[in-house]
Amino acid sequence: MKVIKKINNNVALCLDGNQRELIAFGKGIGFKPIPYELTDLSVIERTYYGISPEYQGLLKEIPKEIFDVSGMLVDLAANSIDADFNRNLVITLADHINFAIDRYKKNIHIKPPYVGNLAYLHEAEYKVATQAVACINQRFGVRLPKEEAAAIALHLINAENSVAPKADFLDASTMISDVIGLIEKRENITIDRSGFNASRFITHMEYLLARIRNNETLENNNDKLFNNLKQEYRETYLCAEDVRTYLQQKTGKNLGSEEMSYLMLHIERFCSREQA
């Protein structure tokens, strides 16, 4: 196996014997001068083929122990669910877990969307997701709520189809492009729309538009959380208000305080990474 690009000291982009690219995890594999031939394959802990380039940047951001748990959960899903999964699932699920733990540590509690009849309509995915929440809580010493299983189940369901849910009654792509334009104008930044940071935000917006379509927007109005976020992230709040006004004009639906809190968290995360 040839190591061709360092991601960090323990993660690297490699070529196998058939010249196929893969991401390899292993202690110290990115430490040596690149490129080099890795002869001791016993140091390799995990390999992943087919990871999209725009997702590879997250390998630097997310702690290895979260990737370890994500990989284990993807294995569990593959062995428990009769479906083929998008190969980027291990990355997107790790990103979701990392964000959920970060919110928990900051005492930011938002009920995950789409709970409804998910446990009955997608029993296998929900069962795996329930096990995932228990595993995450035990491994990282947190207490994510049982409702988090719904959000994780959605990642699994979405990865089976390789696409996010579509709000087909709207011109979703145009609306999302307009929303990103509003954020660029308000924050005075230029956003790389081809990068993973944009892809992650676009996915959130696709879920939001789907909730609007299905009249399933978050209704558990948590005014205390909303007001706290409004005070702490004033510019982000103004940006979210621009988005709310735009969506109301386009869809005729208003976003409540719970949905706005969720949107503000995603905008804050989105912009902080673009400005870094």
User: Is residue 186, in this structure, part of any structural domain at all?
Assistant: yes
pLDDT of residue 31 exceeding 50: yes
pLDDT of residue 244 exceeding 70: yes
CATH at residue 18: 2.30.24.10
Same domain for 157 and 177?
no
| Per-residue model confidence (pLDDT) at position 116 | 56
Tokens 């993973």 locate to 196
CATH at residue 217: 1.10.1790.10
The domain total for the chain is 3
The domain in which residue 44 lies consists of 2-49
Q: Which of 161, 196, 227 is the last residue of a domain?
A: 161
Q: What are phi and psi of 210, to 5 degrees?
A: -65, -40
Same domain for 259 and 182?
yes
Quick: pLDDT tens for 121-179: 788 999 999 999 999 999 999 999 888 898 898 888 878 854 444 444 347 778 888 99
User: Is residue 54, in this structure, part of any structural domain at all?
Assistant: no
User: Is residue 166, in this structure, part of any structural domain at all?
Assistant: no
Q: What is the mean pLDDT of residues 189-207?
A: 83
User: Is residue 209, in this structure, part of any structural domain at all?
Assistant: yes
Burial of 107 (0-12, 13-18, 19+ CB in 10 A): exposed
Q: Which of 135, 161, 187 is the last residue of a domain?
A: 161
- Residues 209 and 79: their CA atoms lie apart, in Å, by 32
Same domain for 6 and 89?
no
Same domain for 141 and 232?
no
User: Is residue 59, in this structure, part of any structural domain at all?
Assistant: no
User: Is residue 268, in this structure, part of any structural domain at all?
Assistant: yes
Q: What is the DSSP letter of 20?
A: -
Same domain for 155 and 179?
no
Same domain for 156 and 186?
no
Please indicate, yes or no, whether the overall pTM of this predicted structure exceeds 0.85: no
CA-based torsion, 68, 73, 76, 81: positive or negative: negative
> For residue 274, what pLDDT band results from cuts at 50, 70 and 90?
low
CA-based torsion, 95, 98, 102, 104: positive or negative: positive
| Per-residue model confidence (pLDDT) at position 111 | 66
User: Is residue 155, in this structure, part of any structural domain at all?
Assistant: yes
Q: What are phi and psi of 51, to 5 degrees?
A: -75, 125
Q: What is the mean pLDDT of residues 200-222?
A: 77
Q: Which of 136, 161, 186 is the last residue of a domain?
A: 161
